[in-house]
Structure 1
Amino acid sequence: MDISSDVAAFYRPPNEVDLAALSEESAGLVRTLAARLAAGKRTLLPAMAAGKTRWYGLAPDSREGRLLAEEVQAWLAPPVGNSAIRVGPGGDALDEAACRAAPDGVCLRIDVESTWRSEARTNVRSMLDVWQSAPERGMDVPRPVGRVLRDFFAALGARDRTAAQAAIDEIRTRSLLSAANVRFLRVHLIGTLGSPLEMRDDPDLKDIAKFRRPPAVTGHLARAADALFIAPRLSGDVATVVDWAKVAGVVEDEWPGLVSHPSQVDSVAAARCLALSESLAAEPRHAVCQALEAEWNADPVVAAVLARLPSVASTPAQATIAGLCQRGDFEAALDLAGGASLKDKDAVSVLHAAFNLGDAQSAARAVALVDGLDGAERHLLLDRAVERNLYQQLVDINAGQHVPRDWTDWLTGDWPDRPDVLSEWAAGWDRTSMLDEGWADGMVLALVDALAGDQRGRTRNGLPILVEWLCDPDGLLPGAVGPAVTVLDVMLEGDGGRSERRAGLRLAEEILRAGCAAGEFADIATALDQVLSALGSREADWLIESLDVLLFSTVPDEVPRRDLVAAAHSVAVQWFDRLTGTQTILLAKLFTAAGLDFPVPPSDPVSGEGRRRQHPFRRVGIYSLAESAAMRARQWIEEQWPGTNVTLAHDHVNSDRLEAMARNCDVVVVQTSHAKHAAVAALETAAGPGDKLLRVNGRGATSLVRGLLERAADAV
């Protein structure tokens, strides 16, 4: 067969496909697919290992790899094969051979069920026909940076590290963001899906503390520092016997100046880092100590460190902008500058103060103050290289000279498509404003217009951030349920896509958790019912999580819930032949809880008696702050694998129980959407290297059980 040497090498053992023994039709298919690889195009190649069929997807770069992943999902998705996984060095021998065939590109693997081999070949031929007859999707209309960033944060939420890294690679390759911002995305990736040790040791993050960082990046670093150097020194809540000066020196050596201002503190970990940093100062700052005392003194570490600081004098009554800046009281310097008539020297101090703070709101305040100078003074200030460079860096922080005032302003204005920057802007907007009836009406009308107009793409990219802002870590504000229901209705109506559905489900869960009136629940049910009518089987996982939220939440009226579950049952029955074994099992459990039949096929390899007898897990640990979901998951796991011992934990911080669970269980499932970072870090440390920790993200018990079912399938 006339093929390249790389492809010929791929078809040597351990690949069990014998090219010489193939029929003429099959050999022609392999030749055509191999020719695409030689031409630098994305393609597929068949393989066989231990009697099991695989299809390897090969692409020359990350963009082509993303397109191939979408196509493979459409043509070879379950039940034909499993979901595509990205392979690289470190896989089995056949994976290694496939990677060598596309050494600088992307390699995907799809394991095909034995009963679907013929259909897989037919679908590959159909895909090849499409490739040959349709024009290639060119590079003339590249994805905007906002879309790539949205996919990046969506991948973090889905715990898909491969997809998140692919988004970073695309941003770096296409130079969509600066090198510093690419590093910041790397911090987000490791802080969400990696470990504190990886954060410390990653070579790409060397000297990351020397950069002026967004608050979220500082937060990830502070949590890593807490998990590595601070929390392990605690014995229970006893912090007074620890040499915190020594700990402060260790943190400072690793990440110098990590947290240096109260405005950077958004967690206990950041407060601890700030307190330790202040303990190293020759003259601790009054404003910093006062802020820590007022907000974080309940934490034993903060309290112990503050107790050892010498008493500090009050801020001088005649404080000046330059003096405050020299003392490091940068927030106070900006506050004072906002109420004064700036001169050249003070304007320089304002630029330095905002630059040291490094957040979007401070940058915008400083830029506005400089822009308000007299024309001649402003020209003189920016004519100097240092000040001009500082000013430009502050502008770059916000991707412009100004920031939106609130959500309505963002929806109606012409702002950059930067979800990462929007997240910083939104952090400074007053959440209580949603309780104002006029604000809510104006914001919802603006959202309707934005989703229907030219700003639709940018608006869709910002929807997950809008939902995060509405919900906050502590849930919806009392009285905000009505506006949230209206926002949900707008998000799900019309031709909304996957982004709207994912964000809408999160919002619906928070609304039901907060409690809503019968009329509001009827609106939620109507919005979800409209989604069902346009849903395809590829969204089965979304349907499963929606049913989980709907069935096990308290609702004010059973009739809309019963009707919606019945409609979902009808849709799921139509999908039956296209569902994976895991999806079928979860739907059966959900519909059983609702009093409806949805049988699991006896031939399903995941649920069969052979799998039950195989007992892939003897001891399972579950960590989730959603206690009712964890208890339901325990019941379903014990039904699926009788005799399995399931341990639950809901601790907010490290504890002996968490450590014992991590050591003694075969697998520990961590529901990251309902978890505290300190507890997760403790589990990572106790579990040690390997894959004992199974991180899942999603709603309810189904996400926990899905993770175990997929782990069990991979073990075969």
Structure 2
Amino acid sequence: MSPTADTDALAQAAAGVDALHTTPRLLALVNETRTHALGPGEVGLAVRNDTSGVLWCLLAGDPSTHTDLDALARAFVWPSYARARAPEAHLAQGDAFADAIHRHAAGGVIVLLSPIEGASACAKAVDLMLDTRSRRPLGASVAPRHIGRVLRDFEDAVARGDATAAHDLLDEAWSTGRLSVVNRSFLQTRELAAQRAWQEVLDHALTHRLSDLDLPRSVEHDLVKAIYWGVLRDALDRGDVASALGAFRDRVQPALGDIFRDHRFVPSAEGRKAWMVRWAAVGGVWPSAVRDEVIAAAATEEERAELNALATHAQFSDSTSEAFARALLSAHEDAAAFALAQAGSDLPLGDRAGVLVQAAVRLDDPARLADAAQAVEAAGGPTEVAAPAALAERIANYPRPAVPVDSWATWLNAIYEDPEWRNAIQVADDQGEAWTESLAHDQDSLVEEAAIVEALAGENALRMVLPRLVRAVIPTGPQRLETLRSRGRILQGLAYAISEDPASGLADLDALADILAALLETGLAPDEFSLMCDQIETVWRRAGGAPRLARWIVDVLSVLTDYPCPSTSRRAALIGALLAPLLTDAGRSKPLIPREAWLEIDDLLEGNELKDLVPESIRQRTERVDDDIRTEFAHLANRNVLIHTLVPAVAERAAAYLKTLVPSARVITDESHVGSTQLREHARNADYIVIASRASKHAATEFIREEASSPISWPSGKGWSSIVDALRSNPSLA
């Protein structure tokens, strides 16, 4: 049957349903459904009168959307307003209406039957259901996901400094109904930290009394960093340690002092300095072991010297007496007590084990609990431990990893030896950031771990950490290219593991894009490139290929066009596969993908054989600027806009585009690595500020935040279209 016949069949059926014409939104959806096949994440509607009522057919663009619609229909429509019916009972093959529906709904159809007298009420219920779905975060409405996967993607967005994605993923997590108010408050702390809004982090901690709660390690570290940037940094930069100590005593210790609970595995120089200041400011005597653990974690010799200098302002003791350890436990300095007992080889084994057991239980740290279990065994069993018998017996049976774990490499070995190790994910959550920081300064090739990664593909523990493991493996620093070449094997193993994950998300796509860029930079053979393309296509299809991921498409196209590819034909095939779901969206009356995204895609494909992958109809459509588009940016008229990114061409293209829409806007671009008098003036005078967090330096970002008097927006992608989108209407994150 021709598309015209399908359109006529659906139109004729809808014309006889009076209730449809009282709900304009449903009528518009029916008309839109008639004109094009649905893409992933899209919903359609077809209606007709039936012998026993009105038939409401909800069409899904893909299976995950069908699942989502089924859950929503149960909640909003039936059984109160309609009955769910088997599609085959009402949509018989050969019927023009039924055949048109099956051709339009790749993901299936949900059929509801309402009585004639209840048709208007059913129409209102369906309208409310679809309106609610449209208001949900796109990630939640396209494919309902397990809360653990949403949180994994959230943590990846925070680690990348992608504040916009973090905000959307937090909304998605909250919409699942599986997130407690307390945990939401923790995630809001992480979101603010992704924006590097340190004063807001501290205000949030005070408002929600976070110091009274058991904090996840990542949240504790965000708060410690916020204290450094918001309270201590200025004085320490001046070399005025006395003022820093005074500021800590006056502004931190009274209300936020209890945030400092665990000094071990602090994954940043700012956090380590804050801990040294804390020990000096609080006063008293501290075990030398805590100082040594923090200094040992220093990333550079320069930082080590700074920490040693700060340590001279605190009082440390080499004593490892039981009395000292018990005093620390009584003061709830559990991490310090554990460090003392672990270093205290002179302590009687029973006393040492007793301190380790009590401190580890309070800290709820799997690594320390495993060490305490070993100490109980060394002491001769629970009866020999100077701790409550029930507690000692419980810790004696605590599960330990198959091998000692102190890095990503040993963690991988541990889950390879024991895939059932129940604390694997928590250990990675607690220590992973510190391992990543350490690996950034290491030139280890990790060749032996590549085979382990491939063998563990599909194991839940590995799947939950894959994105952060990719970030850890891709090196930084002066020896980056040499180290990158040596790590090609493990990067290929990680790409394989990601492609084998049946529940891929945005974090997996970002990780694959990073792997692709790294491998193309070092050189890929044609067959290796083809395999990488296959893996990207697999994950892209699994993620739904939704229009909401257009910014990721732009980022991948930048990689594919910036680096030489060993096979131009395979590159073209990959780009075609990635663009296909977006072409469906372009045919909508109101596309989800903004005009500037298509313009940037066209820019990237300009000048080679790839340009033909964008149909001429789309190119002509995006060349037109209608009043609706100008209205979306009208608030920029006669305003100052500051765009900060380290990629000048991206900023200049965004500025040029904005000037075509709003000629009176004054757009300033900046690519500074650090603050300056000129940047201070720009930040203070700007009405709108955009910081491309994925292409900026923390020093300049911090400087702009301190000097800005206007909202800051954070683009989710690396391209110029993401910068423009961040300025559309009202900035989403201010």
Q: If the TM-score is normalised by the length of the shorter chain, which range does it land in? A: 0.5 to 0.7
Whole-angstrom distance in 2 between the partners of 1:231 and 1:214? 24
Whole-angstrom distance in 2 between the partners of 1:380 and 1:324? 12
From 403, 415, 419, the equivalent of 1:413 is 419
* 1:345 has 2:360 as partner: no
From 653, 656, 661, the equivalent of 1:638 is 656
Number of residue pairs matched by the alignment: 585
- Spell out the pairing of 1:46-125 with structure 2 (5 A cutoff): 46=25, 73-75=41-43
- Spell out the pairing of 1:381-420 with structure 2 (5 A cutoff): 381-383=387-389, 405-410=410-415, 413-416=419-422
1:413 CA displacement: 0.9
Aligned to 2:560: 550
Aligned to 1:238: 238
Contact 1:222 1:258 in 2 (8 A): yes
Whole-angstrom distance in 2 between the partners of 1:152 and 1:637? 30
Aligned to 2:343: 336
Aligned to 1:581: 594
Whole-angstrom distance in 2 between the partners of 1:128 and 1:493? 26
CA 1:315–1:384 in 2, change beyond 3 Å: closer, same or farther? same
Aligned to 1:446: 456
1:216 CA displacement: 1.7
CA 1:359–1:460 in 2, change beyond 3 Å: closer, same or farther? same
AA aligned opposite 1:74:
E
Contact 1:423 1:465 in 2 (8 A): no
Secondary structure of 1:229's counterpart equals helix
* 1:130 has 2:143 as partner: no
- Spell out the pairing of 1:172-571 with structure 2 (5 A cutoff): 184-192=186-194, 195-202=197-204, 206-233=208-235, 237-240=237-240, 243-249=243-249, 250-259=251-260, 262-280=263-281, 281-283=283-285, 286-288=288-290, 295=298, 303=306, 306=309, 309-310=312-313, 315-316=318-319, 319-320=320-321, 323=324, 326=327, 329-330=336-337, 332-333=339-340, 335-336=342-343, 343-354=349-360, 359-370=365-376, 373-377=379-383, 381-383=387-389, 405-410=410-415, 413-416=419-422, 422-427=428-433, 431=439, 435-447=445-457, 450=458, 455=459, 459-471=462-474, 477-478=483-484, 479-492=486-499, 497-499=504-506, 501-508=508-515, 511-512=518-519, 515-518=522-525, 521=529, 523-528=531-536, 536=545, 538=547, 539-552=549-562, 554-555=563-564, 557=566, 559=568, 563=572, 567=576, 571=580
Secondary structure of 1:669's counterpart equals strand
CA 1:143–1:514 in 2, change beyond 3 Å: closer, same or farther? closer
Alignment gaps of 5+ in structure 2: 1-14, 31-37, 46-75, 77-100, 115-128, 130-143
Contact 1:244 1:305 in 2 (8 A): no
Whole-angstrom distance in 2 between the partners of 1:439 and 1:688? 48
1:252 CA displacement: 1.8
CA 1:439–1:654 in 2, change beyond 3 Å: closer, same or farther? same
AA aligned opposite 2:270:
A
Whole-angstrom distance in 1 between the partners of 2:587 and 2:206? 46
Whole-angstrom distance in 2 between the partners of 1:701 and 1:512? 24
Whole-angstrom distance in 1 between the partners of 2:541 and 2:193? 38
Secondary structure of 1:435's counterpart equals coil
Residues 39-81 of structure 1 deviation map (CA, whole Å, 9 limit, x = unaligned) = xxxxxx9599xxxx999xxxxxxxxxxxxxx99952279xxxx
Contact 1:195 1:684 in 2 (8 A): yes
Instruction: Report the TM-score when normalising by structure 2.
Output: 0.63
Aligned to 2:82: none
1:410 CA displacement: 2.9
1:495 CA displacement: 6.2
Whole-angstrom distance in 1 between the partners of 2:346 and 2:22? 75
CA RMSD of superposed structures (Å)? 5.3
Whole-angstrom distance in 1 between the partners of 2:111 and 2:424? 33
Whole-angstrom distance in 1 between the partners of 2:354 and 2:222? 31
* 1:146 has 2:148 as partner: yes
CA 1:486–1:208 in 2, change beyond 3 Å: closer, same or farther? same
1:416 CA displacement: 4.8
AA aligned opposite 2:594:
G
CA 1:508–1:563 in 2, change beyond 3 Å: closer, same or farther? same
Secondary structure of 2:641's counterpart equals strand
CA 1:419–1:253 in 2, change beyond 3 Å: closer, same or farther? same
Contact 2:267 2:434 in 1 (8 A): no
CA 1:581–1:442 in 2, change beyond 3 Å: closer, same or farther? closer
1:611 CA displacement: 5.0
Q: Identical aligned pairs, as a percentage?
A: 17
Aligned to 2:173: 167
Residues 213-241 of structure 1 deviation map (CA, whole Å, 9 limit, x = unaligned) = 4432222102222232223557xx43338
CA 1:506–1:288 in 2, change beyond 3 Å: closer, same or farther? farther
Whole-angstrom distance in 1 between the partners of 2:322 and 2:264? 18
Alignment gaps of 5+ in structure 1: 1-22, 32-44, 56-69, 78-100, 102-121, 137-141
Larger relative contact order (Cα-Cα within 8 Å, sequence gap ≥ 6): 2
Secondary structure of 2:420's counterpart equals coil
Whole-angstrom distance in 1 between the partners of 2:495 and 2:532? 8
CA 1:678–1:203 in 2, change beyond 3 Å: closer, same or farther? same
CA 1:27–1:501 in 2, change beyond 3 Å: closer, same or farther? same
Secondary structure of 2:655's counterpart equals helix
Residues 83-102 of structure 1 deviation map (CA, whole Å, 9 limit, x = unaligned) = xxxxxxxxxxxxxxxxxx9x
Whole-angstrom distance in 2 between the partners of 1:688 and 1:326? 48
Instruction: Report the TM-score when normalising by structure 1.
Output: 0.65
1:693 CA displacement: 0.9
Whole-angstrom distance in 2 between the partners of 1:397 and 1:181? 28
Aligned to 2:91: none
AA aligned opposite 1:524:
M
AA aligned opposite 1:591:
L
CA 1:314–1:150 in 2, change beyond 3 Å: closer, same or farther? closer
Contact 1:662 1:687 in 2 (8 A): yes
Secondary structure of 2:471's counterpart equals helix
Whole-angstrom distance in 2 between the partners of 1:410 and 1:461? 13
CA 1:198–1:420 in 2, change beyond 3 Å: closer, same or farther? farther
Residues 330-356 of structure 1 deviation map (CA, whole Å, 9 limit, x = unaligned) = 46435436x789633222211344357
Q: Which moved more, 1:492-501 or 1:477-486?
A: 492-501
